[in-house]
Amino acid sequence: MEKKLIIINGPSGVGKTTACWGLYKEFEKSVWLDGDWCWMMNPFKVNEENLKMAEDNISYMLKNFIENVNYEYVILGWIIYEEQMFGRVLNKLKDKDYQLYKITLLCSEEKLKERMLLDHREAGNIETSIHSIKYYKLLNTNKLDTTNLTADEVVHEIVDMVNNNMIGRQTALN
């Protein structure tokens, strides 16, 4: 059985956690790692040392999940916003055998703001997330425009991509 590593990324508030939760429930023999769990700290401080620690923690856990015979699907949800972050995490898995799916969730700025307001996110976080959309569009990933999709539809789109080995498929997003 070839492992499937499914990485769901995108800006804060786009629906990564909801999508990963649905995938975790949909795929039997699956395990889900939310990248944010690997660096819950108080105070939360983004700097080089803490980012390296989070990436090392994520790589370590992914490696263990991939090596575990009980799981076929390994799901990671995280705000990976640059190719170098993918490289630093995946480079530590280069000796492992798995099929990689990198799927970026995106939506319109209006929909992202609406979703974040419903989650009671702070105005500064909303603006930062909206500003980050442009970086996610540049990544070498499969893009999924979730603007007009329900959470269940997003999950089913991703399941379809994985089940049909639709690596490289992209949906239009201007």
List, for residues 28-62, the tens digit of each pLDDT value: 999 999 999 998 999 999 999 999 999 999 999 99
List, for residues 89-142, the tens digit of each pLDDT value: 999 999 999 999 999 999 999 999 999 999 999 999 999 999 999 999 999 999
The DSSP code sequence of 104-139 is: EEE--HHHHHHHHHHTT--HHHHHHHHHHHHHHHTS
* Cα separation, 109 vs 14, whole angstroms: 10
- CA separation (Å) from 59 to 5, 64, 89, 93? 12, 9, 5, 7
Query: Which sign does the torsion angle of CA 112, 117, 120, 125 carry?
Result: positive
Residue burial 119-154, b: 16+ Cβ < 10 Å; e: rest? eebeeeebeebbebbeebeebebbbbbbeebeeeeb
On the question of pLDDT at 174 being above 60, the answer is: no
On the question of pLDDT at 171 being above 70, the answer is: no
- Phi and psi at 100, nearest 5°, equal -100, 130
Q: What is the pLDDT of residue 2?
A: 87
Sequence-ordered list of residues with C-beta below 8 angstroms from that of 134, at least 6 positions apart, any chain: none
Q: What is the pLDDT of residue 165?
A: 84
pTM of the entire predicted model: 0.94
* Cα separation, 101 vs 168, whole angstroms: 9
Domains and CATH numbers, the chain: 3-163 (3.40.50.300)
Alpha helices, H only, 6-150:
16-26, 48-67, 83-90, 109-118, 123-137
